[in-house]
Amino acid sequence: MRRAQVMRETNETRIALELDLDNPGSGEISTGIAFFDHMLASMARHGHFFFSCRAEGDLDVDTHHTIEDTGIVFGQALRQAIGDGKGMVRFAHALIPMDEALACAALDCGGRGYLVFKGEFSHPKVGGVEREIFEHFFYSVCIRGGITANLSMEGKNDHHKCEALFKAFGIALGQATRTGPWPATVPSTKGSL
Q: Which residues pair with 98 in a beta bridge?
A: 101
Residue 181 is predicted with a pLDDT of 80
Residue 151 is predicted with a pLDDT of 98
**Sign of the four-CA dihedral 121, 125, 129, 131:** positive
Residue 185 is predicted with a pLDDT of 86
Residue 136 is predicted with a pLDDT of 98
* 64-82 and 34-47 helices, crossing angle to 10°: 20
**Domains of the chain from N-terminus onward:** 3-176 (3.30.230.40)
Residue 87 contacts residue 117 (beta carbons within 8 Å): no
**Sign of the four-CA dihedral 120, 177, 18, 23:** positive
Length of the chain: 193
Residue 3 is predicted with a pLDDT of 97
Residue 183 is predicted with a pLDDT of 74
Residue 124 is predicted with a pLDDT of 96
CA angle 136, 168, 58 (to 5 degrees): 30
Residue 190 is predicted with a pLDDT of 84
Residue 189 is predicted with a pLDDT of 82
The whole-number mean pLDDT for each consecutive block of 10 residues of the chain, a chain of 193 residues, reads: 95 98 92 98 97 96 96 98 95 98 98 98 96 98 98 98 98 96 82 85
- Name the nearest CA neighbour of 59 among 13, 19, 99: 13
Residue 57 is predicted with a pLDDT of 95
Residue 25 is predicted with a pLDDT of 84
Residue 87 contacts residue 152 (beta carbons within 8 Å): no
d(CA 146, CA 111): 4
Residue 186 is predicted with a pLDDT of 86
pTM: 0.96
